[in-house]
Amino acid sequence: MTSMYPVTLKLAGKFCTVVGGGSVAVRKVKSLLEQGAEVTVISPVLDEELIAIQEQFVWRNSMYRDGMLKGSFLVIAATDSRDVNHAVYEWCEEHQVLVNVVDSLQESSFTVNAMVQRGDFMLAVSTSGISPAVSKKVREDLELQYGPEYGTMLEILEEAREEALRTIGDASKRRRFLQSVASMELPELLKQETKEEVQKRVKLCLSSYLD
């Protein structure tokens, strides 16, 4: 078994290329666009769903050819041709470009995880590409456990951290404050109280650490 290194990528403004224009490409293109990537699609035809959002990406109306991936930060090979997908893999391997080949785990330098996202709070589930169905099932279970309150929690924690950096001069005190806030069971509180009420609790906690 090849071990996988878990990582999250900032794709905003990055040039990402999807080779293929079918139903699989639809999912890949939409997920990249959601992350703010600059997306190019290489395909002589486009699925109707891609045609509907064509203004959001660059369409190269062409069969894939060597050299078309220059400048790409990340590539997804999503055609129904094994030969084309393999050719994309070979180019990316030679040029050290991240590539996901939808019909070959062995040729992929990364896999796309099933994901639960609540604002900045993210849970990613991976089976290293072996069983997307299992990843999907676990993701669905996690969606029931981790609601929108986890995204709100991080908003509050970010504000608390910035306020602590501004007002608590002693680093050890600041660390203890942040640990105290993290132990306040904020998600449970947010199920019962408004965000503003929880923020007041955090500010009251902060006041006890001020110099």
Residue 73 or residue 112, greater confidence: 73
| C-alpha distances in Å from residue 99, one per residue of 7, 91, 187, 188, 208 | 14, 10, 37, 40, 51
pLDDT at position 129 is 79
Q: What torsion do the CA atoms of 80, 74, 99, 81 make, to the nearest 10 degrees?
A: 10
pLDDT of residue 155 exceeding 60, the answer is yes
* pLDDT over 70 at 163, yes or no: yes
pTM higher than the cut 0.85 = no
Amino acid at 77: A
pLDDT of residue 153: 96
**pLDDT tens-place string over residues 99-147:** 999 999 999 999 988 889 999 999 999 888 788 899 999 999 999 999 9
| Mean pLDDT, residues 140-157 | 94
Is residue 1's pLDDT more than 70? no
CB neighbours of residue 153 within 10 Å = 25
- Give percent above pLDDT 90 in the chain: 86
Q: For the chain, give the mean pLDDT.
A: 94
Report the relative pairing of strands 114-118 and 121-125 from DSSP bridges: antiparallel
Computed from CA positions of residues 10, 12, 16, 18, in that sequence, does the dihedral angle turn out positive or negative?
A: positive
Amino acid at 49: E
Q: Considering only CA atoms, which of 192, 188, 184 is closest in space to residue 203?
A: 184
Per-residue pLDDT, averaged over 13-42, amounts to 97
pLDDT for 126: 87
- Report which secondary-structure segment, H or E, holds 77: strand 74-77
Cβ-proximal residues to 158 (8 Å cutoff; 6+ apart), any chain: 120
- What is the C-alpha separation between 19 and 34, in angstroms, rounded? 18
pLDDT on residue 100: 97
Pairing, β 38-42 against β 114-118: unpaired
